[in-house]
Structure 1
Amino acid sequence: MLKALIFDVDETLVYYEHYNDREWFEKWGKKEIEKLGISVDYETYKKMVKGELPRSWVEKLGVDHVEFWKAIDRAKLDYRKWAAEMGLIKAFPDVDALENFKQMGLKMAAVSNASQDCTEFVLELYDLKKYFDVILGKDYRYLDGAKPNPYLIKKALDALEVLPSEALVVGDSASDILAAHGAGVSAVQVMRFGKIEGADYYVKDLKELVQLVRSLMDKDL
């Protein structure tokens, strides 16, 4: 029986107009990294983000990797605050569908690779925080636990007190699908920016997700 939904945040519930990851790194990220007395180029940074290199790789440069990622996240939060002031962070127009899931009695979690502060900031921006029983950003105790690692999804299942078979992971990316399946949870891809192979279900938006969830709950009756 379906009891819970675990949502990705960025590009699933909210998006960032004119955001370019390389531009963010050059303008915002590099400054914080340089304060640590080291230099990391964009390609190396992206390899760590994607998991092609462990997030602890920067210790080769003589810095604590937790401090490195905290510096990255300070820059990410600074960017979000600036982008919010500029009106560049938008909620997708269908996020009001979250109210439907609450009315259905489903538990909900928001799970993001962004920091806890960054995740809560964008949810609060559009008064979305109230819908979630659990909000999880990256865990500094296990930085390689970011999606596509299933760690954060498993953590959400434990916090919601549901089994993998009682939940759906809802996201936009391959990382969301891989993390869901690694935790034994079925994945729904919201096709905001095109279809990605491997999901168990596909919806074009959250309104269509409401229909899917209702149909799955009806089957459970």
Structure 2
Amino acid sequence: MLRGLIFDVDETLVYYEGYNHRDWYEEWVKPELEKHGIALDYETYRRTVTGELPRSYVERFGIDHVEFWKLVDRVNLSYRQEMARLGRIKPFPDVSALKELRNLGLKLAAVSNASQDCTEFVLDLFNLRGYFDVVYGKDYSNLDGVKPNPYLVEKALKALNLKPEEALMVGDSAHDVLAGKGAGLRTVNVTRFGKVEGADYYVKDLWELVELVKELFSKRSPEV
């Protein structure tokens, strides 16, 4: 029985006009790291973000890895605040479907590899946080627990008091599919930017997700 949905945030609910990961790193993060005497090239940074290298790898550059990621996240929050001021963070037009999903009686969670502050900032920007029972950004006590690791998804399941078979993981990326699968959930790929291999379901937008949920409800076995 489906009782809940766990959502990715960036590129699933909101997007950033003109965003390029390398440009963001070179223009926003790298100068701040250099102020702290840290010379870290983009490729090494990228490999820690994608999980090719552990997040603690940065300690070889002379900084505690938790402090490093807190520094990056402060820069990221400043970036988001500036993009918001410029009107370059946008909600996808179908986020209004979250209200319908709540009306169907589902529990909702949001999980993001961004920090808690960054995640809450963009949700609050468009009054979306109220749709969610729980919101989780990266956990500094388990920095390698970001997606594709299932840790954040499992954390949300526990908070919602749901079993894996009672929830769907909804996101735009391979990391979302892998994290959901790793936690034992069926996964939904929102194909705004193309299909990701391995998802259980594919929807073009969140209104199509509503229709999928209704279809899954209709297939429930009648109670005896």
Global fold match (TM > 0.5): yes
Q: Partner letter of residue 123 of structure 1?
A: L
Q: Which residue of 1 aligns with 2:18?
A: 18
Whether 2:67 is the aligned partner of 1:53: answer no
Q: Which residue of 1 aligns with 2:68?
A: 68
Q: CA RMSD in A?
A: 0.7
Whether 2:191 is the aligned partner of 1:217: answer no
Paired residue secondary structure (2:169): strand
1:25-174 mapped onto 2 (5 Å cutoff): 25-174=25-174
CA distance in 1, matches of 2:77, 2:167: 30
Q: Is the 8 A contact 1:4 1:166 kept in 2?
A: yes
Aligned residues: 221
CA distance in 2, matches of 1:159, 1:36: 37
CA distance in 2, matches of 1:54, 1:196: 24
Offset of residue 196 of structure 1: 1.1
Offset of residue 31 of structure 1: 2.2
Q: Is the 8 A contact 1:36 1:63 kept in 2?
A: no
CA distance in 2, matches of 1:105, 1:35: 49
CA distance in 2, matches of 1:133, 1:50: 28
Q: Is the 8 A contact 1:116 1:136 kept in 2?
A: yes
Paired residue secondary structure (1:102): helix
Q: Partner letter of residue 176 of structure 1?
A: D
CA distance in 2, matches of 1:46, 1:75: 16
Paired residue secondary structure (1:105): coil
Q: Is the 8 A contact 2:115 2:137 kept in 1?
A: yes
Which 4+ runs in 1 deviate beyond 6 A? none
Offset of residue 217 of structure 1: 1.2
Q: Partner letter of residue 16 of structure 2?
A: Y
Could you tell me the TM-score, scaled by structure 2's length?
0.97
CA distance in 2, matches of 1:58, 1:103: 45
Q: Partner letter of residue 103 of structure 1?
A: N
Q: Partner letter of residue 122 of structure 1?
A: V
Q: Is the 8 A contact 1:48 1:54 kept in 2?
A: yes
Unaligned segments of structure 1, at least 5 residues: none
Q: Partner letter of residue 92 of structure 2?
A: F
What are the superposed Cα offsets for residues 2-45 of structure 1, whole Å, 9 maximum, x if unpaired? 00000000000000000011111111101221233211010000
CA distance in 2, matches of 1:39, 1:90: 33
% same residue: 65
Unaligned segments of structure 2, at least 5 residues: none
Offset of residue 219 of structure 1: 1.2
Could you tell me the TM-score, scaled by structure 1's length?
0.99
